[in-house]
């Protein structure tokens, strides 16, 4: 599952758990982005903070792990590179790339998208607000895409950051360890 995870929240974790169970996946690898080039208009927390938060949030699930491939690769993060790196690391694995349906709707703007679809099956998870979303179905290889309805959690990282900036609680929107990490590192306070 690729994401900026700034911060990781229970919406991400529920979606990952649902996809793991639906496809009976051996492992869900969370891959925090290095430089999310389509979010270059906003302030993104340091990759190492986003990586550590992802490790903390996933530590208790034996089927969840976190990869550094995107944060260790210099330059903008492209999923084509993520999938090439993961294919090298797991040469015998069948890869599924988990995204939200909103990300899937933008996928034609991604780098080398045709090649990207050859390297993995894509799973687009519903999230509140994506119900009426139009996917460019005629331009997408629908045999490589599964749309999956996951239990709806109306949580976004944007909302979590805004709540911290306003001094509102984020308990129960994110795992407890993430609340504590954000406080310790004083993330999102000056926005």
- H or E stretch including 123? strand 121-125
When CB distances to ligand NCN are compared, the closest residue is 2
Compute how many residues bind ligand ATP; rule: CB under 6 A: 19
Under the criterion CB under 6 A, does residue 6 sit at the interface with ligand ATP? Answer: yes
Under the criterion CB under 6 A, does residue 153 sit at the interface with ligand ATP? Answer: yes
Indicate the residue among 98 and 164 with the shorter CB distance to ligand NCN.
Answer: 98
Give the separation between CA 36 and CA 131, rounded to whole angstroms.
25
Interacting residue ranges for ligand NCN, rule: CB under 6 A: 2-4, 31, 33, 36, 38-39, 77-80, 99, 103, 110-111
| Three-state DSSP state, 114 | helix
Under the criterion CB under 6 A, does residue 103 sit at the interface with ligand ATP? Answer: yes
Give the separation between CA 56 and CA 49, rounded to whole angstroms.
11
Give the separation between CA 165 and CA 84, rounded to whole angstroms.
37
If contact means CB under 5 to 8 A according to the sort of partner, which of ligand NCN, ligand ATP, none does residue 153 touch? ligand ATP
| Residue pair 170/179 in contact by the 8 Å Cβ criterion | yes
If contact means CB under 5 to 8 A according to the sort of partner, which of ligand NCN, ligand ATP, none does residue 7 touch? none
Least distance from C-beta 157 to ligand ATP, angstroms? 3
Indicate the residue among 12 and 20 with the shorter CB distance to ligand NCN.
Answer: 12
When CB distances to ligand ATP are compared, the closest residue is 100
What burial class does residue 159 get, using C-beta atoms within 10 Å of its C-beta: 0-12 exposed, 13-18 middle, 19+ buried?
middle
CA atoms within 13 A on the CB side of 118: 7
If contact means CB under 5 to 8 A according to the sort of partner, which of ligand ATP, ligand NCN, none does residue 23 touch? none
Give the separation between CA 107 and CA 129, rounded to whole angstroms.
18
| Residue pair 34/77 in contact by the 8 Å Cβ criterion | yes
Indicate the residue among 36 and 124 with the shorter CB distance to ligand NCN.
Answer: 36
> Contact residues for ligand ATP (CB under 6 A)?
3-6, 11-12, 15, 99-100, 102-103, 125, 127, 150, 153, 155-158
């Amino acid at each position: 599952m690729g994401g900026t995870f700034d911060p990781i929240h229970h919406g991400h974790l529920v979606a990952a758990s649902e996809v793991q169970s639906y496809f009976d996946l051996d492992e869900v690898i969370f891959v925090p982005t290095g430089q999310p080039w389509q979010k270059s208009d906003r302030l993104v927390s340091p990759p190492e903070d986003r990586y550590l938060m992802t490790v903390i949030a996933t530590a208790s699930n034996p089927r969840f792990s976190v990869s550094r491939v995107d944060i260790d690769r210099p330059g903008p993060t492209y999923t084509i590179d993520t999938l090439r790196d993961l294919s090298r690391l797991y040469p015998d694995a069948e890869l599924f790339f988990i995204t939200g349906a909103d990300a899937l709707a933008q996928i034609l703007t991604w780098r080398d998208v045709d090649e990207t679809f050859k390297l993995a099956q894509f799973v687009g998870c519903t999230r509140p607000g994506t119900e009426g979303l139009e996917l460019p179905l005629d331009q997408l290889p629908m045999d490589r895409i599964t749309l999956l309805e996951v239990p709806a959690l109306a949580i976004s990282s944007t909302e979590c950051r805004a709540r911290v900036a306003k001094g509102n609680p984020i308990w129960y929107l994110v795992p407890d360890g993430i609340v504590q990490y954000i406080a310790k590192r004083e993330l999102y306070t000056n926005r």
